[in-house]
A and B are shown apart, each in its own frame.
Chain A
Amino acid sequence: DAGITQSPRYKITETGRQVTLMCHQTWSHSYMFWYRQDLGHGLRLIYYSAAADITDKGEVPDGYVVSRSKTENFPLTLESATRSQTSVYFCASTEGGGHGYTFGSGTRLTVV
């Protein structure tokens, strides 16, 4: 199916574990983003990527790692999960020009 797909939809993990959230888009959009959404904070940018092998930090990058070896995939890794990383994570993509952003359905991550 065309679109942007996130997996898993739900994840519970323990403090200290490494977790990877996946994001896959089928449009070959150049730009991809990871946001986290928390009550009282709205959507905050974690990392973004302008193209394969080009990534940059957003507003809240600490504790996260990204890679983009292929245009269509943009995984987000929590190297050692903490309770403060309990959140809903959204992946998004766009071809650029300040419009045409599409969001994935989100991953609800709980760190216990």
Chain B
Amino acid sequence: EDKVVQSPLSLVVHEGDTVTLNCSYEVTNFRSLLWYKQEKKAPTFLFMLTSSGIEKKSGRLSSILDKKELFSILNITATQTGDSAVYLCALTQGGSEKLVFGKGTKLTVNP
């Protein structure tokens, strides 16, 4: 059975800290891995990763994929209270447009 596992499930940090969120997966015919941020409403898109070793970056957020070890990480540097959210990892497979989600990591950034 296809599986997406995120860790930790929750994390509390102080403003200015750097955090690393993990997503490991077992899926046949991998196509892409996506990261979303969810703040009490619809998930919003952060990154899509398809190739190993190529870092995607947007401001203080970055992400990388390791297709050999079957995981991805999402880094957030110099965290701010506005980064408080649930971060979701999802996969797509070749031949299917379905998104398979992990359970998410709830990040709380305290001032």
Q: What is A's interface to B at a CB cutoff of 8 Å?
A: 31, 33, 35, 40-45, 48, 50, 58, 90, 92, 94, 96, 98-99, 101-106
Which residues on B sit within 8 Å (CB–CB) of A43?
Answer: 43, 88, 90, 99, 101
Asked if A96 contacts B98 (CB within 8 A), the reply is no
Which residues of the partner chain B approach A42 to less than 8 Å between Cβ atoms? 88, 101-104
Contacts of B50 in A (CB 8 A): 98
Task: Give 4 closest A-B pairs by Cβ, nearest first.
Answer: A42-B103, A103-B42, A98-B32, A98-B92
Per-residue interface assignment for chain B, residues 10 to 54, with 1 indicating a CB less than 8 Å from any chain A CB and 0 otherwise: 000000000000000000000110100000011111001010000
Q: A35-B101, A98-B92 are in contact. List 6 more A-B contacts (CB 8 A).
A: A33-B99, A42-B103, A42-B104, A43-B101, A98-B31, A105-B42
The yes or no answer to B69 lying at the interface (CB within 8 A) is no
For A29, the closest partner residue in chain B by CB is B97
B97 near A90 with CB under 8 A, answer: no
**Residue of chain A at shortest CB distance from B42:** A103
Give chain B residues whose Cβ lies under 8 Å from the Cβ of A40.
103
Contacting residue for A98 out of B41, B44, B97, B104, CB 8 A: B97
Min distance, Cβ B10 to any Cβ of chain A, angstroms: 12
User: Which of A41, A50, A101, A106 has a CB less than 8 Å from the CB of B99?
Assistant: A101
**B42–A94 touching, CB < 8 Å:** no
Across the interface, do A45 and B99 meet the contact criterion of CB distance under 8 Å? yes
- In the complex, which residues of chain B have a beta carbon less than 8 angstroms from the beta carbon of A41? 103
Query: 25 A-B residue contacts at CB 8 Å?
Result: A31-B97, A33-B98, A33-B99, A35-B101, A40-B103, A41-B103, A43-B43, A43-B88, A45-B98, A45-B99, A45-B100, A50-B97, A58-B98, A90-B43, A94-B97, A98-B31, A98-B32, A98-B48, A98-B92, A99-B48, A101-B99, A103-B43, A103-B44, A104-B42, A105-B42
Which chain A residue shows the least CB distance to B100? A45
Whole-angstrom CA separation of A14 from B92 in the bound complex:
36
In the assembled complex, the CB of A60 is this many whole angstroms from the nearest CB of chain B, namely 12
Minimum CB distance partner of B103 in chain A? A42
A58 / chain B contacts, CB cutoff of 8 Å:
98
